[in-house]
Amino acid sequence: MDDIGQAFVIALKLIASGDSELFATVGLSLAVSLSAAAIAFLLGAPAGAFLVAQTFRTRPALLVVLNALLGLPSVVIGLVVYLLLSRSGPLGFLGLLFTPKAMVIGQAILTLPIVAVLTYRATETYWSNYRDTFLVFGASKLRMMRTLLAAARGALVTVFLAAFGRAIAEVGAIMIVGGNIRGLTRTMTTAIVLETSRGDLALALGLGIILVGLTVLVSGAAFRLNQRMSDY
């Protein structure tokens, strides 16, 4: 218990002193996770609305696949991205493996099904309200999608938050494609795993405290934004 208490005190001192290694790791984590969540949102939100506004035979099967992908282990996604970006892979010529860009790709793929499924569920509730209007005025599919997304804008904040939360908490995929290289691809989660295994509990606790704090701050900001958007 004394060792844990000392590690906790040292962790607080690292945060208060603005330790360069600690905050460099935090900065990289935020950059990678926000980028991945943004990409997944820009692709997944329209896809979810598209599935609501479309009626085709394979839609149920596609929804089953998307829901199944929600439970896909992240290490599998990391392995697939690794094989694609490795030297012998089809995208090896890009030289992205073991870089932050590879980590963004892995996290974006991981969070894309989450965004698509949650957007589908959020916009589906508005489809019955607008469907007859769409048919009467002969609205295009693009117009339908835009209207559904605008109507569900409050819920979409939560969708983005879910994608960001999943991305920033990810370990397996980014460790495989990023390599956990100090000063280059080491994020908060991978650093916590490494430092804990090495016995450096102070740095691991410091990163853990910041990770929890960021999650609370983002959740609070999203909640307030959601409330404001719902008032309009």
Establish if 25 belongs to a structural domain: yes
Q: What is the mean pLDDT of residues 28-48?
A: 94
> What is the count of structural domains for the chain?
1
How do residues 109-158 score in pLDDT, each as one tens digit?
999 999 999 999 988 888 877 777 777 667 777 888 888 888 888 888 88
**Burial status of residue 104 (CB atoms within 10 A of its CB: 0-12, 13-18, 19 or more):** buried
Establish if 184 belongs to a structural domain: yes
Q: Does 212 score more than 90 pLDDT? A: no
Residue type, 83: L
Establish if 4 belongs to a structural domain: no
Establish if 6 belongs to a structural domain: no
What pLDDT is attached to residue 176?
Answer: 93
Token code pair at residue 52: 């609501």
Establish if 14 belongs to a structural domain: no
Helices (H), 88-200: 100-137, 141-151, 153-168, 172-178, 188-198
What pLDDT is attached to residue 112?
Answer: 95
DSSP 8-state code for residue 93 = G
Q: What is the mean pLDDT of residues 159-179?
A: 90
Establish if 12 belongs to a structural domain: no
Q: Which domain holds residue 196?
A: 20-231
pTM: 0.88
Token code pair at residue 39: 């990409």
Establish if 104 belongs to a structural domain: yes
Task: Please check whether residue 225 is in contact with residue 157, taking contact to mean a CB–CB distance below 8 angstroms.
Answer: yes
DSSP 8-state code for residue 71 = T
The SS3 call for residue 50 is: helix
pLDDT tier at 72, thresholds 50, 70, 90: confident
Q: Does 1 score more than 60 pLDDT? A: no
CA dist 98 and 115 (Å) reads 26
Task: Please check whether residue 148 is in contact with residue 130, taking contact to mean a CB–CB distance below 8 angstroms.
Answer: yes
Q: Which of 17-21, 65-69, 224-228 has the lowest mean pLDDT?
A: 224-228
Establish if 13 belongs to a structural domain: no
Work out the percent of the chain whose per-residue pLDDT is above 90. 33
DSSP 8-state code for residue 56 = -
Residue type, 118: L
DSSP 8-state code for residue 92 = G
Other beta carbons within 10 Å of 190 = 23
Nearest Cα neighbor of 214 from 38, 20, 43, 25 is: 25
Which CATH number do you get for residue 171? 1.10.3720.10
